[in-house]
């Protein structure tokens, strides 16, 4: 590289560094800003909101369903998990294809290709899950 070619860049970096570098103690400034934020009313409101949401989340039905689904997911074998993911992908692709029938026709000839490919992939994953997992385990170790 020609050193003069990027000389302007080094000069502009040096100028920007001089303009943006504070002329006071950075730690002291950070502490002052931290104290200002903690003493503000907005911070107190956000803290109260955070506590309220944390308590609501602890007893929410969404959390209970999520915990149950997580336990179920971990109880399944890897083959069952792959089958489930394949089923979900197939359903999502089918829904996209159905929704595309009510959309405008602009670009319609090619918009069905990707959802159809994912749908076929999901069906194949569901059908051949056991073979896929056996092959994966064999190659892994």
The answer to whether residue 103 is domain-embedded is: yes
Cβ atoms of 125 and 83 within 8 Å: the answer is: yes
Give pLDDT tens digits for 53-99: 999 999 999 999 999 999 998 899 889 999 999 999 999 999 988 88
* 95 in any annotated domain: yes
Q: Measure the CA–CA gap between 53 and 66, rounded to whole angstroms.
A: 17
Question: Residue 7 domain-assigned?
Answer: no
Residue 131: give the domain boundaries. Answer: 76-140
Could you tell me if residue 37 is inside a domain? no
Chain segment 33-50, per-residue pLDDT in tens: 899 999 999 999 999 999
Q: Is 38 part of any domain?
A: no
CA distance 65 to 58: 12
| Number of domains present in the structure of the chain | 1
Q: Is 107 left (phi over 0), alpha (psi -120 to 50) or beta?
A: left
Tell whether 52 is covered by a domain: no
For residue 117, being part of any structural domain is answered with yes
Q: Is residue 112 part of a domain?
A: yes
């Amino acid at each position: 590289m020609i050193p003069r070619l990027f000389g302007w860049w080094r000069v502009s970096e040096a100028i920007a560094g001089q303009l943006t570098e504070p002329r006071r103690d950075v730690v002291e400034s950070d502490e002052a800003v931290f104290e200002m934020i903690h003493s503000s009313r907005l911070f107190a409101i956000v803290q109260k909101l955070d506590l309220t949401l944390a308590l609501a989340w602890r007893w929410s039905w969404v959390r209970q369903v999520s915990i149950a689904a997580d336990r179920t997911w971990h109880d399944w074998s890897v083959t069952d998990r792959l089958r489930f993911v394949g089923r979900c992908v197939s359903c999502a692709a089918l829904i996209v294809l159905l929704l595309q029938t009510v959309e405008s026709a602009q670009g319609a000839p090619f918009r069905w290709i990707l959802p159809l490919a994912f749908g076929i992939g999901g069906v194949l994953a569901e059908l051949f899950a056991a073979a896929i997992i056996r092959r994966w385990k064999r190659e892994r170790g």
